[in-house]
Amino acid sequence: MKKIITLIGFALLMSSCSNDGDTKNITISFENKIAGDRINLGTGNYQNTSNESYSIDELKYIISNIQLVKENGEVFTYPQDNSYFLINESEPESQIIVLNNVPAQDFQTLKFGIGIDQTNYPLNGVDNFVPTAEENQMLWSWSAGYIFFKIEGDFSIENESHQDNFLFHIGSHGTNLDNYKTVELSATQFDLDLTRKDLIAIETDISKLFNAVHDIRINDKSDIQVDPVNAPKIAENASQMFSLKPTHSTN
Amino acid sequence: MKLSLLIFCLYFCLACNSDEDTYVPISEDKALDFPQPDFFPQPVYDLDENPPTEKGFELGKKLFYDGRLSSTGVISCGFCHIQEFSFTHHTHEVSHGVNGALGTRNAQPLVNLAYFNEFSWDGAAPHLDAFSIIPITTDVEMNETVTNVLNKLESDEEYIDLFSIAFENGKVNTQNMFRALSQFMVMMVSADTKYDKVLEGNAVFTEAEAAGKALFDSKCSGCHEGILFTDQSYRNNGLPIDPRYNDIGRKRVTGLETDKYKFKVPSLRNIAVSLPYMHDGRFKTLKEVLDFYDSGVQLTENLDSVFQQSNSIGISLSETEKEQLIAFLNTLTDDNFLLDRRFSEF
């Protein structure tokens, strides 16, 4: 009798483990690079395709709404409430995010958003991201809105010694201007087989911010914030920065 | 054998770490009926997503009147939003925040917020649950951080208790704090004015009020439209630009030149008590407002076309017509709302 109860209890426990099979905690790392090297805040000097050189003092962005998709189309959505992350170049810990209880399966695509999806704002727990965003100055206090992507630094035009500041703060404000972007990374070159590994490495090529879909000449507008013309261009470029990198499998 | 099974079970228990153990609310809390007036549109605020309850409302009210939401400990929401004046900052042109810091705008009335789709004079907040970030963190208002506010609340037994009863997950967190404030504010429904009684057939307008209503319907209701007295659009009504603030209005939110100097059309419910008027509180009386519409409207960028119909700019009004309009506007005061004990601080 006792044995049966234990067995039933056991079966119940098993079924309470949502998916078919195991789950595991996985890690996603973000490396912000330019020309293959980690960027150096303050000291690194970089060139864009518009003959400008620039340095970066601050670089932060919000990653959200993480999903993993299998080849057969099955989607695993990471719990909405916990699916907001702030990547801050000056804080190495922030560049490694841990997802708990992810099905240990072979996935085909990784999807995520840059910023906060308007349909979720401020619902589904996104308000609970306010303290993190606030500590990192990723809130527009006057508009109750999030800054999705922030980069600040200095730039100069080629052959000119004069340096100036630049500052891009990209987000959505009001309901008219939506700069939320989604990214899809497919396991073509490198797999997303979570039966074999528990680390996904992502490289963020910051130089693409200045030339991917649009060419951005910093000197044309060096302060871009609430800007219905330029902010969407930066956001589109930002959505092109991410790529998967090889990682070793654990078994 | 048994032991190993147990250990096995335990292991799975921990490994699953699912949400199975969610907190089951003890029914100490009761749902509140939302006071939907018959002739109002459906609320915009999603009451199913955040249904007002007794304890949620009580928590929201406590937060609303708590100075600890500010850095100096004395500026509460209720400091700038005073009930008798339809939750405005009576006699203050622009708001006064911590240490007497001056803002640039007049505190808006908090009335019928459940029916609005965007908040603040320029629509900077797309949802009521997000609005409170603005006053809490603005340096000239409460000058505090949400993180600090949460820390203060977490060290207070009364708050811990209220949060735990009012919300299913029982947590003292940002979402629950903002939701509690929203529960308090969405219940502020005002629809018990003489105007409403006339609509219901329970009162009649005086001659002057009736004449005022006719004038209002023909000259004002294109913007101050319908039962809420606002179409919730953003318009430039031709106020001269005040160089002290040079407030660009809606353009701050959208970045569009075509939105420069546009402000949200305000509701006119309780207008007789929510002085001073306009986004910067520049007019002290309704007479001044009407004098402005009659002869003060300026041709600034994006002036609404309504004001440019004839060869003169504005809405020409005789002195009698102004008196009649004021008589009508005075029928929009809801004394029961202004004195409703449920919303009052003490």
Q: Is residue A27 part of a domain?
A: yes
Q: Is residue A250 part of a domain?
A: no
Chain B within 8 Å of A42 (Cβ-Cβ)? no
A167-225 pLDDT tens trace: 999 998 767 788 999 999 998 888 899 999 999 999 999 999 999 999 999 999 999 99
A116-144 pLDDT tens trace: 988 877 777 788 999 999 999 999 878 87
| Tens digit of pLDDT at every position of chain B (346 positions) | 344 444 444 444 444 444 444 454 455 789 999 999 999 999 999 999 999 999 999 999 999 999 999 999 999 999 999 999 999 998 888 888 888 888 889 999 999 999 999 999 999 998 999 899 999 998 888 999 999 999 999 999 999 999 999 999 999 999 999 999 999 999 999 999 999 999 999 999 999 999 999 999 999 999 999 999 999 999 999 999 999 999 999 999 999 999 999 999 999 999 999 999 999 999 999 999 999 999 999 999 999 999 998 778 999 999 999 999 999 999 999 999 999 999 999 8
HEC readout, chain A = CHHHHHHHHHHHHHHHCCCCCCEEEEEEEEEEEECCEECCCCCCCEECCCCEEEEEEEEEEEEEEEEEECCCCCEEECCHHHCEEEEECCCHHHHEEEEEEEECCEECEEEEEECCCHHHCCCCCHHHHHHHHHHCCCEECCCCEEEEEEEEEEEEECCCCCCEEEEEEEECECCCECCCEEEEEECCCCCEECCCCCEEEEEEEHHHHCECCCECCHHHCCEECCCCCHHHHHHHHHCCCEEEECCCCCC
**Nearest-CB residue to A121 (from B8, B15, B127):** B127
Q: Which domains does chain B have, with CATH numbers?
A: 3-189 (1.10.760.10), 194-335 (1.10.760.10)
* Per-residue pLDDT band at A7 (split at 50, 70, 90): very low
Interface test with A, best of B22, B167, B174 (most A CBs within 10 A): B174
Residue A53: C-alpha distances to residues A37, B132, B170, B279 (Å): 16, 41, 52, 44
A118:B126 CB<8 A: yes
Residue B26 is predicted with a pLDDT of 53
HEC readout, chain B = CHHHHHHHHHHHHHHHCCHHHCCCCCCCCCECCCCCCCCCCCCCCCCCCCCCEHHHHHHHHHHHCCHHHCCCCCCCHHHHCEHHHCCECCCCCCCECHHHCECCCCCCCCCCHHHCCCECCCCCECCHHHHCHHHHHCCCCCCCCHHHHHHHHHCCHHHHHHHHHHCCCCCCCHHHHHHHHHHHHHCCCCCCCHHHHHHHCCCCCCHHHHHHHHHHHHHCCCCCCCCCCCCCCEEECCCCCCCCCCCCECHHHHCCHHHCCEEECCCCCCCCCCCCECCCCCECCHHHHHHHHHHHCCCCCCECHHHHCCCCCCCCCCHHHHHHHHHHHHHHCCHHHHCCHHHCCC
Contacts of residue B123 in chain A, CB cutoff 8 Å?
174
Q: How many CB pairs under 8 A join A and B?
A: 119
**Nearest-CB residue to B254 (from A10, A100, A174):** A174
Chain B within 8 Å of A176 (Cβ-Cβ)? yes
Q: Is residue A1 part of a domain?
A: no
* Per-residue pLDDT band at A5 (split at 50, 70, 90): very low
Residue A158 is predicted with a pLDDT of 82
Chain B within 8 Å of A178 (Cβ-Cβ)? no
For B123, name the nearest residue in chain A, comparing CA atoms only.
Answer: A174
**Nearest-CB residue to A14 (from B12, B145, B150):** B12
Residues of B at the A interface, defined by Cβ within 8 angstroms: 2, 5-6, 8-9, 12-13, 15-18, 20, 49, 118, 123-127, 129-134, 137-138, 145-147, 150, 173-175, 178, 252-256
Q: Is residue A8 part of a domain?
A: no
**Nearest-CB residue to A144 (from B2, B130, B252):** B130
Mean pLDDT of A55-72: 97
For A118, name the nearest residue in chain B, comparing CA atoms only.
Answer: B126
Residue B13 is predicted with a pLDDT of 41
Angle at B59 between CA B55 and CA B62, to 5 degrees: 140
Dihedrals phi, psi of A13, to nearest 5 degrees: -60, -40
A127:B175 CB<8 A: yes
**Nearest-CB residue to B133 (from A10, A125, A130):** A130
- Measured between alpha carbons, how far is B164 from B167 in angstroms, rounded to an integer? 6
Q: How close is the nearest chain B Cα to the Cα of A221, in Å?
A: 14
Domain, as residue range, for A87: 23-245
Q: Is residue A3 part of a domain?
A: no
The ipTM assigned to this model is 0.82
Q: Is residue A235 part of a domain?
A: yes
Contacts of residue A227 in chain B, CB cutoff 8 Å?
255
Q: Is residue A41 part of a domain?
A: yes
Q: Is the pLDDT of residue A3 over 60?
A: no
Per-chain mean pLDDT for chain A:
88
Mean pLDDT of A12-16: 40
B253:A123 CB<8 A: no
* Per-residue pLDDT band at A249 (split at 50, 70, 90): low
Q: How close is the nearest chain A Cα to the Cα of B288, in Å?
A: 30
A180-192 pLDDT tens trace: 999 999 988 888 9
A122:B17 CB<8 A: no
Chain B within 8 Å of A10 (Cβ-Cβ)? yes
Q: Is residue A55 part of a domain?
A: yes
* Per-residue pLDDT band at A250 (split at 50, 70, 90): low
Q: How close is the nearest chain A Cα to the Cα of B153, in Å?
A: 14
The count of domains in chain A is 1
Q: Is the pLDDT of residue A12 over 50?
A: no
CB B95 within 8 A of CB B138: no
A139:B133 CB<8 A: yes
Nearest to A15 by CA among B9, B137, B243, B47: B9
**Nearest-CB residue to A173 (from B124, B137, B147):** B124
B16:A228 CB<8 A: no
Residue A109 is predicted with a pLDDT of 97
Residue B214 is predicted with a pLDDT of 98
